[in-house]
Structure 1
């Protein structure tokens, strides 16, 4: 059992390049399982035992643990934060259909239909962060469904994949959606969708989580990890080192194996910073994320976990 490779969920985008390098150049033995629909899907997979580790968006992980568990969810949340994968913020592009001329600004999106990959995903959470930034939230705004009093949007349209999101804004099923800037840019260039605006996360954008089944020790303190988890983090560190030292190789991989132009790959490299060591999570970052999500109405104070409970391996 101890020698069984870990199953690692990841989003198959440019940010995954250090994982690829860890596998290709440093004998990472984990099974890398792509989740193109994002962090919300990985939360479901962690809780159902389909994967052991997830590499995804900070706001998605925090939102998942900060809510009261539903009857069909594990009472312990199913996972904990163990590592930091990307230290820079994420730029979310705000997109609409190519011919949606009635949507001429971000403010025109208030009260509209927002497309999201899943309820609780980063694309869902950032809808509330955008609404908070734009002062669209009523004091009574809650979280969970679009029907609750104070919701800034008419509906949250669950569409699962980036392809479905693009299709939905062109066909009128949704008015807009938010997705990472460089992943969206190719479709602006081709004229398939149109950019309305952008918003940055006010926190480090990507974190690593592990199933609670791989973590031991007293809650709130530096936990004991399954040795395979520690080995995984060390291999990812080596993948990041290779990424930092071989930028041309990274550009070639991103522009040939993933859905990006060479120009966009090089531009992205100027905006992203991975940590030298992925081990551990800065509690202040998680506290800031939780506070922002309280303010945006994504989380409700007094319900779900606090920041200390979410982090199994503090920095």
Structure 2
């Protein structure tokens, strides 16, 4: 039995992995796939890939591209979710800030530098024509629990996170949502360490085949909306809206998309250079 470690955020996007693991589909193929939740998100997973704690990550596209350029010895092997991620822009429920414009020059809570919440703060600033040097400030809060504490105690002023994941915090009167910031590209990819790709190519293909067989028909699973609502403690109507907006992918990310992302990150001074497609992506 081959042991393989995979990481991802403990969110509804990754329910397909849970279902295939629960069904024993990887073990049927001689693979002991062990799932690890990363509450710290993309930055924590980038570190785990570098440290060889995991072999594979289901990770934000812009985050892994940035980290590969920064020296992470991994490559993207497939797009996982084709649709954009809709980031909610949140403040504490009792915050004085009412609009996105009010947040100009205030402090953003981020899980860590290089994380999705960090990169999207730049994207949001650009959308709103802020001065990237003078209108952005950051407070590292590690994860969603840290964001709750940080915003409630005034250590930071706003926080970007996937809007459906944070919706229960809005419903419970902990956060207020004052706007949205969608990623202008496919949100999640599957990345693997280069040494794992080289040594376990067939194993990786098998894993991708199994998850792809589930994601292509994910919305057709009976009562999947109720399952998600119960598991992730969300309102049924929110889950149904999310399902309507979300499209999974079974294809490799294309060259034009990687170039679009790199140009955006380069223009924001988040990456120092634009690199060749083949240095980012491995086609199995």
Instruction: Normalising by structure 2, report the TM-score.
Output: 0.92
- 1:121-179 deviation line (CA, Å, top 9, x unaligned): 111100111111112135xxxxxxxxxxx25313x211111111022111100000100
Of 222, 239, 244 in structure 2, the residue corresponding to residue 270 of structure 1 is 244
- 3-state secondary structure, aligned to 1:270: helix
Structure 1 ranges of 4+ moved more than 2 A: 305-308
| C-alpha distance in structure 2 between counterparts of 1:175 and 1:226, whole Å | 45
* Structure 2, unpaired ranges of 5+: 28-32
Q: Which moved more, 1:50-59 or 1:161-170?
A: 161-170
Which residue pairs with 2:5 in the alignment? 7
Aligned runs of 1:223-302 on 2, under 5 Å? 226-248=201-223, 250-275=224-249, 277-278=250-251, 280-301=252-273
Change (3 A) 1:166 1:153: same
- 1:200-234 deviation line (CA, Å, top 9, x unaligned): 10000100000111123xxxxxxx86211111100
- How far has the Cα of 1:60 moved from its partner? 0.9
> Is the Cα contact below 8 Å between 1:83 and 1:208 reproduced in 2?
yes
Instruction: Normalising by structure 1, report the TM-score.
Output: 0.84
Aligned runs of 1:105-124 on 2, under 5 Å? 105-124=99-118
- 1:215-269 deviation line (CA, Å, top 9, x unaligned): 23xxxxxxx8621111110010122134232151x22321222232222211211
Of 125, 132, 142 in structure 2, the residue corresponding to residue 131 of structure 1 is 125
Which residue pairs with 1:174 in the alignment? 156
Which residue pairs with 2:17 in the alignment? 19
- 3-state secondary structure, aligned to 1:179: strand
Of 168, 171, 176 in structure 2, the residue corresponding to residue 194 of structure 1 is 176
Change (3 A) 1:44 1:151: farther
> Is the Cα contact below 8 Å between 1:95 and 1:194 reproduced in 2?
yes
The two structures, once aligned, show a CA RMSD in angstroms of: 1.8
> Is the Cα contact below 8 Å between 2:197 and 2:204 reproduced in 1?
no
> Is the Cα contact below 8 Å between 1:293 and 1:299 reproduced in 2?
yes
Which residue pairs with 1:61 in the alignment? 64
Q: Which moved more, 1:171-180 or 1:235-244?
A: 235-244
| C-alpha distance in structure 2 between counterparts of 1:58 and 1:201, whole Å | 10
Q: Which moved more, 1:238-247 or 1:160-169?
A: 238-247
| C-alpha distance in structure 1 between counterparts of 2:183 and 2:222, whole Å | 25
